[in-house]
């Protein structure tokens, strides 16, 4: 049996969505701008996009590239980040290079990568890979750095080899921080996915969105914004579920408000 | 850490960067990559210095920096304000929390077409996009930082007779400062990325526009110049933020 309080908590994000859509509706009614359709008009345009076979193929292509880029990035970045966190030499070897790469917008590499690899899947997946890997490396690095030394010493005293210590002690201890990085990486994957498709307009969700913008189909533009937004929210919620399962033991108690007023 | 360890760390860190440049040069000089696709590093850096001396290129940098700073400052003010308010006021928290949960994972670039249609093609839409993207990391880390302030500190301040408003500025804000600054650092990197992207999508000036113009005319050298410039700008800004951080956190045990 759910109490009224938890039910309200579950419903809160839905209420927030409805509230935001209502604000949008009122704003567009007040502005009377041809290029700013109302929320209801935009929602009405969604079914025709989702029932179109071409656009479904496009969404599939986008999600496939994102999944591949994200998966490879996580698989490469976590070991790299962890070993950077545990070894000073590795850290000082890679740190400056990563700091130089970090502020470069990965999607801006798209025009250059396109020259070498063409406009196909490889170029876009590579860009997504680059976008995701940096936050994951950074957070794994921070997480591994903060592992309690005593646990490692006890592990070593009990005869674990360095590799075993990395997997059995450092990885679980750094997991909450790693997952924070993966969550940032997920949002970045979506962003780079959209922008890479906007630059190399060949297929994908970003392609539909920006082509509609150029052709002045404003209800499609806003409908696509809703769809992409929903995608982001669903992926994030899904990830949050997985994360909650994996790191149940380290739930931070953030929900207690400070009392002094 | 002594000075010698720092220099050896620095030297070790320069190796991969030198390697990247060396491989780049090797690819060109052994003919694996045609010069039109991958210009040699020397040519790129020479071009960059030459560009930095021209007024037009400096104006592009100024336009990018202006948008970056405007968007980032608004994001810091809003993020720290909303984050603190949500941490201390349960009612405000109940309203803001679900909205943030919905908006934070939304890819903001997808909102850019809407911003373009609403506020036009000028500075405003780019600044708005930078703010939208930089806001959430700052807001979230402010909130986490402020809500994990030790309650005993607040009780001591109350016992000493500090009024609630002053507790906010004298206890909660300083105690949350390390977390807030971490959020600002992430927000700053994101601002660099986003301002560039926004300029690539639609713009008449700025570094992103330089890249797009070069890409359309297949000027490979000119494509590398803005990318390296934004990377350097990011490094410089990061260094500045690091300096601000170590000044603000000079009283903390490990900053």
pLDDT for B254 equals 55
Average confidence (pLDDT) over A16-33: 81
Give how far B236 is from chain A: nearest CA, Å.
10
- Domains (range + CATH), chain A: 38-250 (1.10.3720.10)
Compute the Cα dihedral for B21, A189, B123, B140 and give only its sign. negative
- Tracing tokens 């104006």 back to the chain, one arrives at B59
H helix or E strand, kind and range, residue A182: helix A171-199
Average confidence (pLDDT) over A99-121: 78
Interface membership of B189 toward A (CB under 8 Å): yes
pLDDT tens, per residue, chain B with 255 residues: 466 677 777 777 788 888 888 888 888 788 777 777 778 888 888 888 888 888 888 888 999 999 999 999 999 999 999 998 888 888 888 888 888 888 887 878 878 888 887 787 788 889 999 999 899 889 988 888 888 787 788 888 888 888 878 888 888 888 888 888 888 988 888 888 888 888 888 777 888 888 888 888 878 888 888 888 888 888 888 889 888 888 888 877 654
For the residues of B119-173, what is the DSSP string, one character each?
H-SSHHHHHHHHHHHHHHHHHHHHHHHHHTS-HHHHHHHHHTT--HHHHIIIIIH
Separation CA B102–CA A12 (nearest Å): 10
Tokens of A206: 């970003």
Interface membership of B238 toward A (CB under 8 Å): yes
Segment among A110-119, A133-142, B69-78, B151-160 with least mean pLDDT: A110-119
Instruction: Look at residues B179, B183, B189, B170 and name the one whose alpha carbon lies nearest to residue B147.
Output: B179
Q: Which of residues 27-46 of A touch B (CB under 8 A)?
A: 33, 35-36
pLDDT for B81 equals 92
Separation CA B202–CA B219 (nearest Å): 19
Rounded to 5°, angle at Cα A200 from A59 and B194: 90
Separation CA B192–CA B196 (nearest Å): 6
Which residue blocks in A32-120 are alpha helix, DSSP H? 39-50, 53-86, 88-101, 110-117
* pLDDT confidence tier of residue A169, bands split at 50, 70 and 90: confident
In total, chain B counts a number of residues equal to 255
Cβ–Cβ below 8 Å for A225 and B114: yes
Q: How remote is the C-alpha of A60 from its chain's centroid?
A: 17
pLDDT for B255 equals 43
Interface membership of B99 toward A (CB under 8 Å): yes
Rounded to 5°, angle at Cα A153 from A148 and A158: 130
pLDDT for A253 equals 45
Interface membership of B130 toward A (CB under 8 Å): no
Cβ–Cβ below 8 Å for A261 and B111: no
pLDDT for A26 equals 83
ipTM: 0.75
Give how far B53 is from chain A: nearest CA, Å.
22
Interface membership of B163 toward A (CB under 8 Å): no
Which residue does chain B place closest to A231, by CA atoms? B106
Interface membership of A210 toward B (CB under 8 Å): yes
Cβ–Cβ below 8 Å for B193 and A105: yes
- Cα separation values, B142 from B70, B117, B241, Å: 20, 32, 16
């Amino acid at each position: 049996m759910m109490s009224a309080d938890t039910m309200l908590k579950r419903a809160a994000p839905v209420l927030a969505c409805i509230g935001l859509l209502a604000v949008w509706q009122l704003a567009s009614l007040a502005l009377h701008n041809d290029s700013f359709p109302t929320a209801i008009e935009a929602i009405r345009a969604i079914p025709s996009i989702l029932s179109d076979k071409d656009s479904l193929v496009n969404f599939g292509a986008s999600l496939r590239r994102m999944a591949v880029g994200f998966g490879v990035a996580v698989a490469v970045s976590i070991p790299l980040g962890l070993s950077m966190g545990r070894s000073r030499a590795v850290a000082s070897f890679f740190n400056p290079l990563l700091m130089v790469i970090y502020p470069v917008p990965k999607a801006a590499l798209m025009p250059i990568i396109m020259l070498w690899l063409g406009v196909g899947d490889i170029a876009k997946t590579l860009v997504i890979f680059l976008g995701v890997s940096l936050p994951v490396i950074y957070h794994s690095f921070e997480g591994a750095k903060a592992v309690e030394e005593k646990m490692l010493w006890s592990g070593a005293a009990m005869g674990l080899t360095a590799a075993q210590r990395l997997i059995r002690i450092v990885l679980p201890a750094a997991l909450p921080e790693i997952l924070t990085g993966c969550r940032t990486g997920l949002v970045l994957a979506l962003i780079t996915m959209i922008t890479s498709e906007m630059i190399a307009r060949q297929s994908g969700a970003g392609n539909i969105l920006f082509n509609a913008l150029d052709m002045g189909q404003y209800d499609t533009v806003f409908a696509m914004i809703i769809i992409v937004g929903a995608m982001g929210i669903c992926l994030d919620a899904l990830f949050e579920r997985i994360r909650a399962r994996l790191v149940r033991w380290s739930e931070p108690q953030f929900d207690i408000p400070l009392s002094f007023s | 850490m002594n000075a010698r360890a720092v220099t050896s760390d620095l030297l070790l860190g320069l190796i991969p960067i030198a390697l990247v440049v060396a491989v780049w040069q090797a690819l060109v000089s052994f003919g694996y990559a045609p010069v039109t696709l991958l210009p040699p590093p020397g040519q790129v850096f020479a071009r960059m210095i030459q560009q930095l001396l021209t007024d037009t290129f400096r104006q592009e940098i100024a336009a990018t920096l202006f948008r970056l700073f405007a968007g980032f400052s608004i994001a810091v003010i809003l993020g720290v304000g909303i984050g603190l308010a949500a941490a201390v006021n349960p009612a405000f928290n109940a309203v803001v929390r679900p909205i943030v949960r919905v908006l934070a994972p939304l890819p903001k670039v997808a909102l850019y077409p809407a911003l373009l249609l609403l506020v036009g093609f000028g500075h405003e839409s780019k600044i708005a996009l930078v703010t939208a993207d930089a806001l959430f990391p700052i807001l979230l880390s402010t909130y986490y930082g402020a809500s994990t302030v030790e309650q005993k500190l607040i009780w001591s301040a109350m016992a000493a007779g500090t009024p609630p408003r002053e507790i906010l500025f004298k206890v909660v804000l300083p105690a949350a400062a390390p977390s807030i600054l971490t959020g600002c650092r992430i927000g700053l990197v994101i601002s660099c990325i986003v301002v560039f992207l926004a300029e690539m999508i639609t713009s008449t000036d700025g570094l992103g526009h330089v890249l797009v113009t070069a890409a359309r005319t297949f000027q490979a050298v000119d494509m590398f110049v803005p990318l390296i410039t934004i990377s350097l700008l990011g490094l410089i800004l990061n260094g500045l933020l690091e300096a601000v951080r170590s000044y603000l956190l000079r009283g903390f045990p490990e900053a």
